[in-house]
Structures are given as structure tokens and as C-alpha cells.
Amino acid sequence: MPETLRIDVIYALPSRQQLVSLKLPAGSTVRQAIEASGLLQKHSEIDLTSNKVGVFAKLTKLDAPLRDQDRVEIYRPLIADPKEVRKQRAAEGKIMKKGAGDGDSE
């Protein structure tokens, strides 16, 4: 097992992503990587009590131990419920289809 871990911590914003590469001691946790990244100071909206976190797109806990070359991801809360958005799109599609043949064709 390596004595130091190479870890990337990523926080995606709507327009860009912030990536911080770190070297941490073996046995470090997800929380320690996030705190060492400095992203908590740069982005006050990150709240580790409510923001979900993951490693390589798989949800994990803050106390999970890291392995060399892991990618820690801090997720933003969803703005809209994806199921609701799909329902709305489906409803809009039905309305458009019903009205598609109603035109003045002389």
C-alpha cells in the first residue's frame, strides 16, 4: 500500500468544474480530502451535512477511506425533480401532437 495517495477532488458548477489534485497520507477519508482541497473555503454553498459526495460517481460516506487515484466528487442539490420534469415534457408533447393538425390549409 502506498504511503501517500494521489486524489482528485471535483466540484461541478453549472458553467465549469473545479478540480483539485492532492497528495494525502494513506488512510485518509473522503472528508479529509474535501477539507484539504480548499473547495469548502472557495464555495460557501457547499455544506457537507446536506451535499452528497461520491467516489467515481458512486455515492459514499464522508468517513469512507480512500484508495490511490480515487476521484472524490461533491454533488450539488438538484434544482428540479427529474421525474417531474419528464412528466411535464410528456404532457407538453401530448398538447403539441393534438394541435399539430389544426392549421388553415386551403
HSE-CB for 81 with a 13 A CA cutoff:
4
Task: State the pLDDT at residue 95.
Answer: 64
Q: What is the mean pLDDT of each run of 10 residues along the chain (106 residues)?
A: 90 91 97 97 92 95 97 86 77 64 51
> 13: closest CA among 104, 106, 98, 76?
76
Question: Virtual CA dihedral for 38, 44, 49, 51, nearest 10 degrees?
Answer: -90
Residue range 4-99, CATH number: 3.10.20.30
Task: State the pLDDT at residue 77.
Answer: 79
What is the sign, positive or negative, of the torsion defined by CA atoms of 49, 86, 56, 34?
negative
Task: State the pLDDT at residue 88.
Answer: 79
Model confidence, pTM: 0.73
Hey, where are the domains in the chain? 4-99
